[in-house]
Structure 1
Amino acid sequence: MPIISEAQEYHEEDLFVDLRRTFGRRLFLKCEGFNFAGSIKLKAARAMVEAAEASGVLRPGSILVESSSGNLGVALSILAASKGYTFVCVTDNRCNLATKQLIESVGGTVYTVTEPAAEGGFLGARLRLVRELCESDERYVWLNQYANPNNALAHYRSTAPAIAARFPDLKVAFIGAGTTGTLMGCARYFKEKRPDVTVVAVDAVGSVTFGGPSLPRMIPGLGTGVRPPLLDRSYIDDVVHVAEAETIRACRRLAGRGFLFGGSTGTVISGALRWLDEHAPGEELTTVAIAPDLGDRYLDSVYHQGWVEEIYGSAALADAFERPEEVAMMSGTGGAR
């Protein structure tokens, strides 16, 4: 094991879960939640902060401010604590309590937007508040994860190469779309270095990222109310939209096997399984999906029966813990080989 001096120096890059016993498909899950920020966002946060420091934009006395549904806020709060900056996270009421407490525990401040903007929903309202803060005091520095090229560059340099090195026979990569930093970094890498790999973006129903109608979404992570400037559709081969009830079922089915992952992971896996059933029924393609975080921050939502039933109805809990062989029969794969 490594010896580190700063929290941001550790990130487990080479951990994958084989999901064949759970879902009956040759689908491997890249686990990005094993670091002190608990998510893949530590990579983007570190890349953006270090670039801002190198350019002189971020300097002693600066106040970091960012709009986040949760995970980037935690990552930036840890970096700020390590480097001696003040940090302000602007989120909305979908951000879970545990995430807010984590940010505050390491010295960050959380502003919670409670009303969506007429244009752009909650994200639009968050961005408006960030701009107001920046206009009020020149010490504020907004890294802007939605447009910052270093967000994507972090994954071009690390996430995608790690997948490619582990799976030389990779055929399909399934990547969730939030800010699209992970998506664009990985998609660009595969198009340039491994053009034989099909890149499938997985988004939430209700997100406007790929042109769909804006609808209410309750699970933080994937999806946006404002199209991310980082997105370049030309690098992406296909898009799958997943309803939140499907996200719940995938998460809880994984939990039935002892794997507790976050909501974004359930969305990506659900989208991946649907895409494979439609485009590669019965085939044994080597495929990878990315799990941005773990499930401990979702205990009061995705994994809380009362919360799920109140918002999505009891149907969202149906067949959540099917036996793997039953899942294999339903997917038409005949089980893992």
Structure 2
Amino acid sequence: MPVISAPEDFHVEDLYVDLRPTFDVPLYLKCEGFNFAGSIKLKAAASMVAEAEARGELTPGSVIVESSSGNLGVALSMIAATRGYRFLCVTDTRCNLVTRQLMEAMGAQVHVVTEPHPGTGFLGARLDLVRELCASDSRYFWMNQHANPYNWMAHYRTTAPSIAKAFPELDVLFVGAGTTGTLMGCARYFKEEGLPVTVVAVDSIGSVTFGGPAGPRMIPGLGAGVRPPILDESFVDDVVHVAETDAIRDVHRLASGGFLFGGSTGTVISGATRWLRKHRDGESVTAVAISPDLGERYLDSVYRPSWVADVYGDQSPVSEPSR
């Protein structure tokens, strides 16, 4: 029976969903949303905070500041509340309302950027604001998840070893690329351990992470308007880019069977199933995809037909309910 004194001490590490009945491909989904922060970002947040404290860079008078599309902001809000820090999250208009409310409920201040940078999009505008804040007040401490090595180290130490233990004969691992912390931690682990695992990054169309052209993206979590400094492509075996409409179609397909996952999970599943059908069709293969979070925070966006129709128009993969 788990008994904890801090919310970050609890995380379900060994829950997988077999996706073959739904998608007819051999794919297991690692569920990372069962903790008090509701996402895989809790691991990175706890790692970065602990290391900053150990180095003496984060002190009782510090104000943690971070740019986040949502999930890391929730995780840092929780840890800041637990440890007595103030926290300012810089996000943008794509952040789900319930996510902003969660952060504020735990005492965080949320600043919403409403205008994207002309060259680097919303992420660039958020990062510019964070730099301005840090330059204006020495109390601000920037976690900088896009460049902080303790982001990927969290997954090198926890996520990847747990997958290797659960699936010792693993052939392929699919990981969504946002800050690339999860991707880099897992890819480095399997390569440095000498395990014959093909690591496939899954990214959103419109993301510049792997050199593609910038484009509009409305689902928070995956993709970036600025290439993450912690990314090292030499550890990645392949990359799949997924349209947001395909991601939405696949999370709705899962929801119709009772599994409610977040938009990023739809992106990862769509990319994984397409890759498996192209490269391993009909083969006996063991494959795992990582699901960053669950779906409750997306009820007003990817699970609301009117939102999907407004955003994607004629390309909408979801029909309005009949009246």
Assess same fold via TM > 0.5.
yes
Deviations 1:289-321 (A, max 9, x none): 0000000000011100101112123653369xx
Matching residue of 1:277: 277
Matching residue of 1:197: 197
User: Superposed, which structure 2 residues align to 1:299-310 within 5 Å?
Assistant: 299-310=299-310
Q: Distance in 1 between matches of 2:146 and 2:294?
A: 22
Q: Distance in 1 between matches of 2:69 and 2:278?
A: 32
Q: Give the CA deviation at 1:79.
A: 0.2
One-letter identity of the residue aligned with 1:136: S
Matching residue of 1:291: 291
Deviations 1:137-159 (A, max 9, x none): 10000010000000000000000
One-letter identity of the residue aligned with 1:6: A
Q: Distance in 1 between matches of 2:205 and 2:84?
A: 39
User: Superposed, which structure 2 residues align to 1:1-337 within 5 Å?
Assistant: 1-313=1-313, 315-317=315-317
Report if aligned partners of 1:25, 1:284 keep a CA contact under 8 Å in 2. no
Q: Distance in 1 between matches of 2:25 and 2:194?
A: 22
One-letter identity of the residue aligned with 1:163: I
Report if aligned partners of 1:171, 1:287 keep a CA contact under 8 Å in 2. yes
Q: Give the CA deviation at 1:275.
A: 0.4
Q: Distance in 2 between matches of 1:178 and 1:194?
A: 25
TM-score normalized by the length of structure 1: 0.93
Q: Give the CA deviation at 1:194.
A: 4.2
Q: Secondary structure of 2:214's match? A: coil
Q: Give the CA deviation at 1:31.
A: 0.3
| Divergent runs of 4+, >6 A | none
Report if aligned partners of 1:308, 1:314 keep a CA contact under 8 Å in 2. no
Q: Secondary structure of 1:147's match? A: coil
Report if aligned partners of 1:246, 1:316 keep a CA contact under 8 Å in 2. no
One-letter identity of the residue aligned with 1:305: P
Report if aligned partners of 1:98, 1:297 keep a CA contact under 8 Å in 2. yes
Q: Distance in 2 between matches of 1:283 and 1:60?
A: 55
Report if aligned partners of 2:66, 2:144 keep a CA contact under 8 Å in 1. yes
Q: Give the CA deviation at 1:163.
A: 0.5
Q: Distance in 1 between matches of 2:216 and 2:313?
A: 16
How many matched pairs? 319
Deviations 1:268-299 (A, max 9, x none): 00000110111011113110000000000000
One-letter identity of the residue aligned with 2:305: Q
Q: Distance in 2 between matches of 1:284 and 1:118?
A: 47
Deviations 1:152-203 (A, max 9, x none): 0000000001101001111000000000000000000011124310000000
Q: Secondary structure of 2:48's match? A: helix
Q: Distance in 1 between matches of 2:95 and 2:53?
A: 28
Q: Distance in 2 between matches of 1:88 and 1:296?
A: 23
Q: Give the CA deviation at 1:247.
A: 0.5
Deviations 1:14-38 (A, max 9, x none): 1111111111111000000000000
Q: Distance in 2 between matches of 1:65 and 1:185?
A: 23
One-letter identity of the residue aligned with 1:307: W
Give the 3 Å change call, closer, same or farther, for CA 301–25 of structure 1 in structure 2.
same
Q: Distance in 2 between matches of 1:280 and 1:254?
A: 22
TM-score normalized by the length of structure 2: 0.97
Deviations 1:227-271 (A, max 9, x none): 000000000000000000000001000001100000110000000
Q: Distance in 2 between matches of 1:107 and 1:21?
A: 42
Q: Distance in 2 between matches of 1:79 and 1:26?
A: 37
Q: Distance in 1 between matches of 2:252 and 2:182?
A: 24
Q: Distance in 1 between matches of 2:177 and 2:5?
A: 32
Q: Secondary structure of 1:87's match? A: strand
Q: Distance in 1 between matches of 2:262 and 2:189?
A: 25
One-letter identity of the residue aligned with 2:267: T
Which runs of no fewer than 5 residues in structure 2 stay unpaired?
none
Report if aligned partners of 2:241, 2:271 keep a CA contact under 8 Å in 1. yes
